[in-house]
């Protein structure tokens, strides 16, 4: 899920589901802090590249197939 992919205030901003006020605050923060958002975007990209690269995905796929065999 999203909380597993994003670390709040490190690689993105998470808000509680159906919380319009929290969403508004997060959007305002993003607009008012473009440099912080660039830093979070870079952290998110780095996490995605490390955690979801092709080699890791192939290993996970093979492991799943072996468990099903």
Q: What is the mean pLDDT of residues 5-15?
A: 92
E-strand stretches of 1-69: none
| Number of H-type helices and E-type strands within the chain | 4, 0
Q: Is the pLDDT of residue 1 over 80?
A: no
Cα Rg, the chain, nearest whole Å: 16
Q: What is the pLDDT of residue 4?
A: 78
Q: How confident is the model at residue 3 (pLDDT cuts 50, 70, 90)?
A: confident
Q: What tens digit of pLDDT does each residue of 42-60 get?
A: 999 999 888 888 998 899 9
Question: Long-range pairs for 34-41 at CB < 8 Å and ≥24 separation?
Answer: 40/9, 40/10, 40/11, 40/12, 40/13
């Amino acid at each position: 899920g999203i909380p597993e992919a994003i670390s709040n205030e490190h690689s993105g901003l998470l808000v509680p589901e159906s919380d319009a006020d929290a969403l508004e605050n997060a959007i305002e923060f993003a607009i008012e802090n473009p440099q912080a958002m660039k830093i979070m975007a870079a952290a998110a990209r780095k996490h995605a590249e490390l955690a979801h690269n092709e080699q890791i995905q192939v290993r996970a796929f093979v492991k799943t197939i072996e468990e099903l065999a």
